[in-house]
Amino acid sequence: MLAAMHASRNGRVVAMASRDGARAREMLRPYPGARALDSYDALLEDPQVEAIYNPLPNSLHREWTLRAIAAGKHVLCEKPIALNAGEAEEMAAAAARAGKQLMEAFMYRFHPAMREFVERIREPLHVQATFAFPLKDTNDIRMQAPLGGGALLDVGSYCVSVTRWILGEPVEVAARRDVMSRPRPFTSYRDPHDPYQLMVESFGDSILQGKPVELPIGESIANMRVLDRIRGASAPGSEGPRARGRGPRRR
């Protein structure tokens, strides 16, 4: 994200807050003028900072997004925006009261290929979404339940988001817990478009031009509601209904 912010046409990296000052200074070396701060509070109190990117563990998204909004900052919050729909609604209400922009960092929504792909689908019938990444460290915070980690929120949020983008809101939700294994890892590659930079620039345009963000916070709340339903349907002892039909398609 630092590289995307630095490359954006309408923003610049002013400062980064970290508990590890030496590490922060090392990460900021490619960005002349950017300052390393030793606390999150110092970042929120900095008058040069107009907007913040919240990349903290999922369990801290609500707290520090609310604190940033209260400090007068716009917030681009990493996905999932919260632990549940209730938290997302609280964050949205706070941003609305303060007149600040709040957007969930679903970068894939800003890739031109994805936008054209969804636009070209006339009558969608079925979506099968998979998201995988190499987990080299089993202590990775993205997998720690107390920090809001786990497959459902960390990567399942993408699968739910893209499915809703194409098919619309679910009529019913069913879920199952399982452990999948594959003999060969999934592979990917980078292309000429950087969706992170496109997302940052879109968010910057909304701030500078006072226009609504391209990924409305209501969309994020709706996504959290579906994730909440999946969590409930996959709980031990639950017999969730099988999904049938689809709701209104979201554009």
**Active-site residue numbers?**
79
Q: Ramachandran region of residue 153, left (φ > 0), alpha (ψ -120 to 50) or beta?
A: alpha
Q: Ramachandran region of residue 99, left (φ > 0), alpha (ψ -120 to 50) or beta?
A: left
Helix and strand element counts for the chain (H, E): 10, 5
Integer Cα distance of 149 and 145 in angstroms: 5
User: Of 42, 3, 2, 1, which Cα lies nearest the Cα of 19?
Assistant: 42
Locate 54 and state its tokens: 């919240």
- Burial label, 108 (beta-carbon count in 10 A; 0-12, 13-18, 19+): middle
User: Of 152, 128, 154, which Cα lies nearest the Cα of 228?
Assistant: 152
DSSP state letter for 32? T
16, containing H or E segment: strand 15-17
194 C-beta neighbours (distance < 10 Å), count: 18
